[in-house]
Structures are given as C-alpha cells and as structure tokens.
Amino acid sequence: MDWGAIFGNAAVELISPTTAAYALAALGLAVHFGYTGLLNFGQAGFMALGAYGYAISILTFGFPVWGAFLVGVGASVVFALILGIPTLRLRADYLAIVTIAAAEIVRLLFTTNTFASVTGSANGLSGYKNEFAALNPLADGTYGFGPFTNNAYDTWLRIVAWSIVIIAALLVWQIMRSPWGRVIKGIREDEDAVRALGKNVYAYKMQSLIFGGVLGTIAGMIFALPRAVVPSNYQTTLTFFIYAILLLGGAATVLGPIIGSMIFWVLLSFFSGFIARAVEAGWLPFMTGIQGGQLSFILVGAAIMAIVIFRPQGIFGNKKELAFVR
C-alpha cells in the first residue's frame, strides 16, 4: 500500500484548477440559493455556457482571451435573463424546474450533430489553450514543492484560477454586507414583506440570478482550461456535486463554498486512490477496479450525508440561524 502516493494525490486536489472551478460555481450558487433563496438547479448550464463560449470564441472566431471571456459572460447574462423573465415572478419551485430543464437543453444543443462543425458534438472541443498559455509571464521550469510541484503552464493556471476565486469571494463578501445584500437576504425570508417596504423584488432577484450565473460561467471557463470541453461533463450531476459542496461548507457563507470544494475534492481523490490500491492489493476480492471507482463516490456521499446530518448548517454556517428554521 503506497500511502504516500494516496495522500500526495489527494493533496494535489487541494489547489487544483478543478477545485477552484467548483469553488467558484458553488460561490455563485451561494448567491442564488444561500443568500437570495433562488433554487437554481441549472448551474451546470451556466458552466457549459462559459466553457463553450470561451472555446468557440477562440477556435471558430479567433477572439483574444479577454474577448472569449466576455462572450462567455455575455452568454450567461442572456441565459439568466431568459430563465428569469418568465419564472422570477412565480414561486421558487418553478425556477428549479425551469433551470434544470434549461441546463439540459443547453447541454443537448452542444451535443447535437447539427452544430458539430462549431461545437464538436459529443467529442467536444480542444486545442484552445495556446492563447491562455501565451499570456503566461512565468519562465519554463517547475514551481512549487512536494505534491504541489507543477510546470509553468499549470502553475500559471492555478495562480489565475485562485486569484479569480479570491476576487469573487471578496466581491460576494462585500456585496452581502451592503444594503443590497440586506435586501437580498430579506427576499430570502419573505418577498412580500420586502415588496411592502418599497423594494423592486423582481429586479433584485434578476440581479442575483445574473451575478451568481456569471460566477458559474467563469467557473466553467476555469474548469475547461485543464481539459477538453466535453458536453457529458455538464450533466445534472455536476449541479448536484456543486450543491453538495455548498451544503458542506454552509449555504449562506463566503468561505463555505471554497473550503467545501477543497474538502470534497481531497476526499474524493483520497477515497478513489485508496480503493483503487486496495482492490489491486486484493483487500476487496469481490470488487473490480471499475466498481471501486464507483465506490469512492458512494463513500463521499456517505461522508457528506454525515456532515449534513450532524452539522446541518455546514462547516461555516451560523448555528443560530438554524435554530429558527422549522
């Protein structure tokens, strides 16, 4: 049993760009669900728009990095408006139904063969990384220490990804302690009361949907940079992983989604590394390697269930808030 490799691989996930992407997407969901009370089950759709918006802009239209970034953000603003205009006047559950369906529509549109020349259909897109790599100010070589040793590109990607996460976290923190955030939290409690105090609830909900959606979209771009853009990555399960991270860390918190994402990925990597090696070593004779891969998700699920049962406010949530929840 190579414990060093298991822990090393788990530690790598602590600052991997994927962890940053999930953290940022969960932060967007914290704005939606934790602070505003909007049940957005389509965060995967926002991420897909970011990833495809970025990749298509570069591959098909030859845009620079900042142009591709703006295309992705613009696409998600339009997506949020399309989702929000018909549903935000209705009860919260309608938004849940519409977002889950809309995210699937987005994914299937990217999967269909009709647009294969642009979207690459089920095979997805790759080869859009050179533009981002060209911006790298770091010289060639390796950076970091121990399990966190990376080449220049991967280090550059981590720096950018986590810088974005930190900036986004500061933005969310600042905006939620402002009068704007107060209105948003009031809407989560009772929109009619806020309406009776002269606040345009519909506009606030729309702003929140766009803000959280844009965070999800940027997360989609970060998610796409270390890998290829493949439509099957943006299934509903992605949204549920992000919800799991959010509840793990604490729904109406800023640090919760970030630390939650780190814990989620370190645990997932640890369990899958451990089980794969345990199967190899013959500790689990009833199991194949593929089954082992599934088992790691089961164990992560059980770990998250335990946290939600024994610490329902999440790691950073305020216990006092829950005392009044029926």
Phi then psi dihedrals of residue 190, to 5 deg: -165, 105
Stretch that binds another protein, among 50-58, 131-139, 172-180, 219-227 (CB under 8 A): 172-180
The two tokens of residue 72 are 């992705």
CB 280 within 8 A of CB 62: no
The CB-of-193 to another protein minimum distance in angstroms stands at 4
Question: What's the residue count for the chain?
Answer: 326
Count other Cβ atoms within 10 Å, centred on residue 167. 12
State the distance between the two ends of the chain, measured CA to CA, in whole angstroms: 47
Contact call for residue 90 and another protein (CB under 8 A): no
Residues 294, 268 contacting (CB under 8 angstroms): no
The stretch among 61-69, 76-84, 114-122, 196-204 that binds another protein (CB under 8 A) is: 196-204
> Which one, of 75, 312, 96, lies nearest residue 216 by Cα?
75
List, in sequence order, every residue forming a beta bridge with 6; answer none if it has no partner. none
CA distance 51 to 150: 23
Among 180, 228, 299, 315, binds another protein (CB under 8 A): 180
**129 touching another protein, by CB under 8 A:** no
Residue 57 sits at the vertex; the CA angle it makes with 51 and 154, to the nearest 5 degrees, is: 50
Other CB atoms closer than 10 Å to residue 9's CB: what's the count?
18
The bridge status of strand 142-143 relative to strand 150-151 is antiparallel
Only segment of 114-122, 157-165, 197-205, 219-227 that touches another protein (CB under 8 A)? 197-205
Pick between residue 165 and residue 201 the one whose CB is nearest to another protein: 201
Residue 196 binds another protein, judged by CB under 8 A: yes
Instruction: Write down the least CB distance from residue 91 to another protein, Å.
Output: 15
Q: Which of 30, 44, 95, 194 binds another protein (CB under 8 A)?
A: 194
175 interacts with another protein by CB under 8 A? yes
Place of tokens 């808030």: 321
Interface with another protein (CB under 8 A), residue from 186, 216, 249, 260: 186
**Does 181 interact with another protein (rule: CB under 8 A)?**
yes
Can residue 190 be called a binding residue for another protein (CB under 8 A)?
yes
Using CB under 8 A as the binding rule, the residues of this chain from 257 to 316 that contact another protein are none
**Site mask for another protein (CB under 8 A), range 208-247, x = bound:** ---x------------------------------------
Q: How many residues bind to another protein according to rule CB under 8 A?
A: 29
91 near another protein, rule: CB under 8 A: no
Q: Is 166 an interacting residue with respect to another protein (CB under 8 A)?
A: no
Give the position of tokens 């814990």.
263
State the Rg of the chain over Cα: 20
Q: Which positions lie near another protein, rule CB under 8 A?
A: 171, 174-175, 178-183, 185-186, 188-190, 192-201, 207, 211, 320-321, 324
